[in-house]
Amino acid sequence: MRQIDWAQFGLSAPQMLPVNGIDMAVWDTNTPSEMPPVVLCHGYPELAFSWRHQLVGLPKAGIRAIAPDLRGYGLTSAPDAIEAYDLDTLTGDLAALLDAKGIEKAVFCGHDWGGLIVWAMATRRPDRVAGVIGVNTPYTKRPPIDPIALYEQRFGPDHYIIFFQKPGAMEAILEEDVDKTFRFYMRRSSVTPLEFDARPEGKRNHAFQLALQNFDKSKATHPLLTDAEHQVYVDTFTRTGFRGGINWYRNFTRNWLDSADIPDLVVQPSLMIMAENDVVLPPSAADGMEKYVPDLDRVLIKGCGHWTQQEKPEETNSAIAEWMHKRFGGLRTS
């Protein structure tokens, strides 16, 4: 497997840290700042590399940025056991990362699944959280029933989250042609959420596993990544496979069960960054968040699909930087 030249993306090589029983790959800008650092948490199927534009851009605004490959991804350890990926463990990784860095509190910024983790940090590890930034992923109240049962009731057995519960099934589809997988996933949105919802039910793309199998990569449109960026994902996931990341989905029920006594309230200052054209996590998903996140600011990034920090990096950086300076002060450096 070829070595990745991080310097071509303006990045240094990651630091490997022992945290919470695993080895974690961490990119840290070490920017001097009076503000708390921002810990950038990626989603599925992403990497710390997904925050490359923020690792370069946020230091210019005087913000220290830290981006780990989360458990199961990239250069970080990927235990086999499904239960090694529940929210208690994942938030424990982030608390241990702060310990390893000698940091008392940080602002946690998460996209997609990383968003679920950073909201969980606010409620499960509140003593380590100075603030929260959700990118596309809103805070949601604990559902009244097991979320897996809820997904199946609403969307049927073909919904991708239901399919992901079968160990090995989705991995086989994703790993058959990793180049195809990322040409399918990493695309700019070509429809709005309203247009997506207006499609006939049989054509709606909730069953991503079926859409991927039927996808012709030679006809891929709306590419998001450069060839070099695309190759980082392909090389990395060819080496690691997808089991670690998918195991996060296999803990929905466990996470729901162990959250029964956790209050549905985020008391830390928070920012919700919404992407206008995200059909998976549309802006409307954040409606009513103020009931559970009373100290909340919002930013809408127009013309942007699901992969916000990669698709609209300047807008994302500006939203984070302006909010950080507004809420935490500090001196802007260049």
Instruction: Just list the catalytic residues.
Output: 112, 306
* Contact between 25 and 4 (Cβ < 8 Å): no
- For residue 276, the 8-state DSSP code is T
Q: Is the dihedral of CA 70, 71, 73, 74 positive or negative?
A: positive
For 66, the token pair is 């830290």
Backbone angles phi, psi at 54, to 5 degrees: -80, -35
What burial letters (b/e) apply to 70-98, b meaning 16+ CB within 10 Å? bbbbbbbbbbeebebbbbebbbbbbbbbb
Residue 193 CA to its chain's centroid (Å):
20
How far apart CA 165 and CA 147 sit, in angstroms, is 12
| Interatomic CA distance for residues 15 and 269, integer angstroms | 29
Torsion sign, CA atoms 176, 14, 71, 129: negative
Token readout for 47 is: 């990497």
- H helices, E strands: number in the chain: 14, 8
- Contact by Cβ (8 Å): 229, 53: no
Edge-to-edge strand ranges of the sheet holding 15-19: 15-19, 22-28, 65-68, 38-41, 106-111, 129-135, 270-275, 296-301
Residues in Cβ contact with 211 at an 8 Å cutoff, skipping those fewer than 6 apart: 184, 205
User: One-letter amino acid identity for 139?
Assistant: Y
